[in-house]
Amino acid sequence: MARKKKRKGVVRRKSNRYRVSPEIKRERRKRTLLLAGYVCGFLVAVFIVSSVFVLGYRYLITTPYLRINAIEVQGCRQLSAQQVIRLSGVHVGQNLLAVNLKKIRKRIEINPWVEGVIINRVIPDKLVIEIEEKNPVALVQLRKKYLVDSRGKLIVPVKNTEGFRDRIYLVLTGLNEKEVLARGGVPADVYDQFRQFIAIGGSNGNWFDLGEIREVRWDPLNGLILSYGASNMVIKLGKGSFSLKFSMLRRVMGEISRRNIDEQVKEIDLRCSPRVYISKKHANHLVSG
């Protein structure tokens, strides 16, 4: 028998043995509609909840019940409460929840006296501002005198110290003005020496009066140099080992007082402790430790 020739360009389609039944199609449509219903319901619920929150928030920031009737300021020493309130920018009548605490804190911290700020809302009508002021411990003599805090950072320039008569502020001189102003404070290595001197010198107050120090000069080579007493006696402390040096100084000062030669002593050099060099107006003496 002769073979039948295939026609070119003609492709036979195979019968579909996997046709989906109408029942399965209906089930699929049902699941799709059910899922769409769930999604729509969820979106409607989100919209309702969001609307409630928005309307509730608008009510809270506009209700007269939460208007500020009192602003309390705590922690003031150098600054007054009115100064702090003016810095904050808050005024009576504003809504307690509408004020931005972060912005208020930043505005107050601009003041050089302010170390830190804590702000609390007291429902329904009170704002409490608690400030921590910097603690001045000394003066730095540049072209102007500056108060410095316990870290050696500049606080504010002062024209005079009349307002600080209840405190003794030592005056640190001999510093590079450009360097201090650029850093915003005394270089760390210098201030560390000065801080140690204040701590140890203050603990020896029963015989060494910090109030008698006219000047504390810093010399990069020779360290700390004091001008002491009415006669401006020069005391060269140098750098470090201040406990030992004050122990030696106590012995020397006791001997000077016993001999009643305070006015004759020009200089006491403790840089090479335990050896102490005493310079009088007309002669030099060496006191060994």
Per 3-state DSSP, the chain is made up of helix, strand and coil in percentages (nearest 5) of: 40, 25, 35
Q: Considering 82, 117, 133, which residue would you say is the last residue of a domain?
A: 133
Q: What CATH number is associated with residue 124?
A: 3.10.20.310
**Is there a domain that residue 4 lies in?**
no
**Is there a domain that residue 249 lies in?**
yes
Nearest residue to 134 (alpha-carbon basis) of 118, 157, 111 = 111
Q: Considering 96, 117, 133, which residue would you say is the last residue of a domain?
A: 133
Query: Which of 87-91, 135-139, 252-256 has the weakest average pLDDT?
Result: 252-256
Rounded to 10 degrees, what is the CA torsion of 61, 63, 64, 66? Answer: -50
**Is there a domain that residue 43 lies in?**
no
- pLDDT tens-digit series, residues 30-76: 777 777 777 787 777 777 777 666 666 665 556 677 788 899 999 99
Q: Mean pLDDT over residues 171-198, rounded?
A: 91
Q: Let me know whether 157 and 276 are in one domain.
A: yes
Q: Let me know whether 107 and 185 are in one domain.
A: no
Q: Let me know whether 174 and 272 are in one domain.
A: yes
Q: Let me know whether 154 and 189 are in one domain.
A: yes
How many other C-beta atoms are found inside a 10 Å radius of the C-beta of residue 77? 11
Report pLDDT for 83: 93
Residue 87: give the domain boundaries. 64-133
User: How many domains, in total, are found in the chain?
Assistant: 2
The whole-angstrom separation of Cα 118 and Cα 263 is 54
What pLDDT band is residue 130 in, cutting at 50, 70 and 90?
very high
Q: Which helix (H) or strand (E) holds 234?
A: strand 233-238
